[in-house]
Amino acid sequence: MKSSEVTKKKITNILFSAVDEINHGLPKEARLDKSPQTALLGAEGKLDSLNFVNLILSAEEKLSAEFGTISLAEAIVADDQTNPPETVEALADLVGALLEKTNS
């Protein structure tokens, strides 16, 4: 497996563990599936704004522990980030891009 694929798998698993964490605070019917296609925001998303924040900050903490400091929250709220990631996969892609930027 290429290192980029390994990294993407690691990122996705970390995002899933963040999903596990926020699911504790959600009623059963609103809990997120752990799948790359799971919608976070938008028409099909189940998260309200605070739970999206909870997810992002939980993910950021876990990602930083694994890869070193990563400002995921800032990237999402920055002026040039007009479309926040709406699925787990889109979030994983954003994280990947931030890591590449950090490492280059």
Partner 1 sequence: MSKATLKCVLISDFNISNLSAYLENDPKLPAIHTTVAPYGQVIPTLLDEGSDVWADKPSLAVIWTRPEAVIESFAAALECRRPPVDNVLAQVEHYAEALAGIQKRVAFALVPTWVVPTYHRGLGLLDMKESGVTSLLWQMNLHLAGKLRDAPNLYVLNAQRWIEVAGASAFNPKFWYMGKAPFGIEVFKQAVSDIKAAVCAVSGQARKLIVLDLDDTLWGGIVGEVGWQGLKLGGHDPIGEAFVDFQKALKALQNRGIVLAIVSKNEESVALEAIREHPEMLLRLEDFIGWRINWGDKARNLVDLVNELNLGLQSVVFIDDNPAERARVREALPEVLVPDWPVDKMLQKQALLSLKCFDTPSISDEDLKRTRMYALEQKRSQLKVSVGSLDKWLPSLDLRVTIEEMNDGNLKRSVQLLNKTNQMNLSTRRMTEPELLAWLKRGQCKLWSFRVSDRFGDSGLTGITSIECYDNHGQIVDFVLSCRVFGRQIEKVMVHTAVDYARRAGAKHVEAKYLPTPKNKPCLEFWRNSGFEHDKENYTFLWDTSKAYPLPDFITVNKPGL
> Rule CB under 8 A: which residues touch partner 1?
21-22, 24-27, 48-51, 53-54, 56-58, 60-61, 73, 77
Shortest distance, position 50 Cβ to partner 1, whole Å? 5
Q: Which is nearer to partner 1, 33 or 48 (CB)?
A: 48
Shortest distance, position 15 Cβ to partner 1, whole Å? 16
**In 10 A of CB 24, how many CB atoms?**
7
Shortest distance, position 81 Cβ to partner 1, whole Å? 13
Shortest distance, position 43 Cβ to partner 1, whole Å? 22
Q: 69-78 contacts: CB < 8 A, separation 24 or more?
A: 70/95, 70/98, 70/99, 70/102, 71/98, 72/98
Q: Which is nearer to partner 1, 36 or 45 (CB)?
A: 45
Q: Which is nearer to partner 1, 50 or 97 (CB)?
A: 50
Angle among Cα 87, 88, 92 to the nearest 5 degrees reads: 120
Q: Helices (DSSP H) in the chain: which residue ranges?
A: 3-23, 49-67, 72-77, 88-103
CA of residue 24 relative to chain centroid, distance:
17
Q: Which is nearer to partner 1, 9 or 20 (CB)?
A: 20
